[in-house]
């Protein structure tokens, strides 16, 4: 009892000191029961009072026991002992079970934690070994390393294709207003295409009284118009690379223009065929074969069918591969006969052509160049001059039906104003006011065949390269 009074005094004294001196609460540390005390520190910077400190003060006040004994003196009855003292008769475990209440509600989820830092990248792994490249073995199969896959590197040769049927020649015959085109195929069969042309209108002519006549009808119009303005001369002067031209007209006026010529370039190297069959430019082998591989069998024409509706003929071409091509030809109706209107111009129906129905004694010459073809002069209207044929006409007259030419292995397309691809075609009935040169346009209807020592085509007899 004496010890308890001493300790009580010490504790009260320490509390008073803490209040009066520090004006802060005092926390009393607890012991872990093994003689070691645990300090308790107030979060508001209060005084720390441990059992070691209390034990030291107690000894100074005359306490002679151990710290364990001092700690036991501070211990009171447990809650279970208090319950027993108040009449509880069950075990401590049973008493603890009575303290467990109903489960409480789930608490709110806590805040997500901060993501951790990324780990350090690992080192790159070693490169894998190169794969084995397939190759073609001596047996013609694909091999991978020393393993024969059994797969052929080249497929079996296919069966030869059937010979195609193509057009080897097209010929034309005329009877009255009907043109008949005969297509000859490579298998010897033929097919005719018939085109009915419209009748020609009445061509005006000048009678001895100097008037224009339509058939036997005197129009009463004098066929003498005013002279037009033509070109009387063209002169050219050259200075350096510039050519200057002056055109002088019949009315005395002139027109000038200049052309800038480019400098001639150096001659390039002429390609030639080397002993290996390739094209060479100088000493460089281009690697390009001078002769291509034999082509596959072509797709020929199996048949041509014709259906007519009114003035429209529809042709259906069926090829040997089963495909078809359809085209139509609209045949012309009879033309409208020109007549001279009250204003002295030529009219076609209700259309004023703006061309004066005048007459001139001037002549123009039309020269036909057959380009190696045979010229049809059965009419006797044309004069042969060397390889060409000419006809003289009154100025502004027209040729109603242009002559025809023939050449083996070629199809005659018509007469052009030049031999260039861009030159235009001249057609029947156009008025001619100047001297005119016309050239036969021909195209091959076959592939050249070289089966003789002279290296000339067996079809068109043209010289081929050897």
Compute φ and ψ for 3, nearest 5 degrees: -65, -40
Handedness of CA 119, 120, 123, 124 (dihedral sign): positive
Does residue 439 form part of some domain? yes
Does residue 266 form part of some domain? no
Residue 250 has pLDDT above 80, yes or no: no
Decide which of 90, 106, 137 is a domain's last residue: 90
- Per-residue pLDDT tens over the stretch 298-307: 677 878 888 9
| Confidence label for 40 from pLDDT (cuts 50, 70 and 90) | very low
Does residue 145 form part of some domain? no
Residue 214 has pLDDT above 50, yes or no: yes
| Confidence label for 429 from pLDDT (cuts 50, 70 and 90) | confident
Provide the 3-class DSSP secondary structure of residue 107. coil
Mean pLDDT across 276-302: 76
Does residue 314 form part of some domain? no
- Per-residue pLDDT tens over the stretch 197-213: 766 667 777 887 777 77
Residue 10 has pLDDT above 70, yes or no: no
Mean pLDDT across 387-410: 92
Does residue 465 form part of some domain? yes
Which one is predicted more confidently, 205 or 319?
319
Residue 19 has pLDDT above 50, yes or no: no
Compute φ and ψ for 17, nearest 5 degrees: -60, -40
**What pLDDT is attached to residue 464?**
65
Does residue 342 form part of some domain? no
Decide which of 36, 57, 90 is a domain's last residue: 90
Does residue 114 form part of some domain? no
**What pLDDT is attached to residue 217?**
83
Residue 296 has pLDDT above 50, yes or no: yes
Q: What is the CATH number of the domain that holds 437?
A: 2.60.40.4270
Distance (Å, rounded) from C-alpha 382 to C-alpha 394?
15
| Confidence label for 337 from pLDDT (cuts 50, 70 and 90) | confident
- Per-residue pLDDT tens over the stretch 148-180: 998 888 877 777 767 677 777 888 888 877 888
Query: In sequence order, which residues have a C-beta less than 8 Å from that of residue 174 and are 6 or more positions away?
Result: 180
Distance (Å, rounded) from C-alpha 344 to C-alpha 224?
10
Decide which of 90, 121, 139 is a domain's last residue: 90
Residue 345 has pLDDT above 70, yes or no: yes
Q: Is the pTM of this model over 0.85?
A: no
Cα angle value 300/302/307 (rounded, 5°) = 125
| Confidence label for 24 from pLDDT (cuts 50, 70 and 90) | very low
**What pLDDT is attached to residue 329?**
84
Q: 451: domain range?
A: 360-466
Residue 394 has pLDDT above 60, yes or no: yes
Please, what is the average pLDDT of the chain?
78
**What pLDDT is attached to residue 160?**
74
| Total domains, the chain | 2
Does residue 417 form part of some domain? yes
């Amino acid at each position: 009892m004496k010890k308890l009074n001493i300790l009580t005094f010490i504790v009260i004294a320490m509390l008073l000191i803490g209040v009066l001196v520090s004006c802060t609460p005092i926390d009393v540390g607890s012991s872990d029961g093994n003689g070691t005390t645990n300090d308790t520190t107030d979060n508001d910077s209060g005084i720390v009072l441990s059992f070691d400190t209390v034990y030291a003060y107690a000894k100074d006040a005359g306490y002679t026991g151990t710290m364990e004994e001092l700690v036991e003196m501070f211990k009171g009855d447990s809650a279970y002992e208090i319950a027993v003292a108040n009449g509880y008769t069950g075990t401590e475990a049973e008493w603890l079970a009575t303290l467990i209440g109903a489960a409480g509600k789930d608490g709110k989820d806590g805040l997500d934690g901060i993501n951790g830092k990324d780990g350090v990248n690992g080192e790159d792994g070693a490169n894998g070994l190169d794969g084995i490249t397939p190759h073609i073995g001596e047996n013609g199969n694909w091999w991978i390393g020393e393993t024969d896959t059994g797969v052929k590197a080249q497929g079996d040769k296919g069966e030869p294709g059937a010979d195609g049927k193509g057009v080897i020649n097209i010929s034309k015959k005329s009877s009255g207003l009907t043109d008949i085109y005969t297509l000859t195929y490579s298998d010897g069969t033929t097919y005719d295409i018939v085109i009915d042309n419209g009748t020609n209108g009445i061509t005006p002519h000048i009678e001895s009284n100097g008037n224009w006549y339509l058939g036997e009808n005197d129009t009463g119009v004098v066929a003498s118009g005013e002279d037009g303005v033509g070109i009387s001369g063209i002169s050219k002067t050259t200075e350096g690379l510039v050519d200057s031209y002056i055109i002088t007209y019949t009315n005395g006026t002139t027109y000038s223009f200049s052309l800038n010529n480019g400098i001639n370039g150096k001659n390039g190297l002429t390609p030639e065929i080397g002993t290996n069959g390739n094209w060479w430019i100088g000493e460089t082998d281009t690697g390009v074969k001078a002769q291509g591989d034999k082509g596959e069998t072509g797709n020929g024409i199996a048949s041509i069918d014709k259906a007519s509706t009114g003035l429209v003929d529809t042709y259906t071409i069926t090829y040997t591969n089963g495909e078809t091509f359809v085209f139509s030809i609209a045949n012309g109706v009879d033309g409208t006969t020109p007549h001279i209107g009250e204003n002295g111009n030529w009219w076609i129906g209700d259309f004023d052509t703006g061309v004066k129905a005048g007459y001139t004694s001037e002549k123009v010459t039309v020269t036909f160049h057959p380009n190696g073809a045979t010229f049809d002069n059965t009419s006797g209207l044309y004069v042969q001059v060397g390889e060409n044929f000419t006809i003289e006409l009154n100025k502004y007259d027209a040729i109603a039906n242009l002559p025809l030419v023939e050449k083996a292995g070629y199809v005659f397309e018509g007469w052009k104003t030049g031999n260039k691809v861009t030159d235009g075609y001249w057609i029947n009935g156009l008025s001619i006011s100047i001297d005119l040169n016309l050239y036969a346009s021909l195209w091959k209807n076959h592939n050249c065949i070289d089966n003789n020592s002279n290296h000339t085509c067996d079809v068109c007899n043209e010289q081929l390269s050897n």
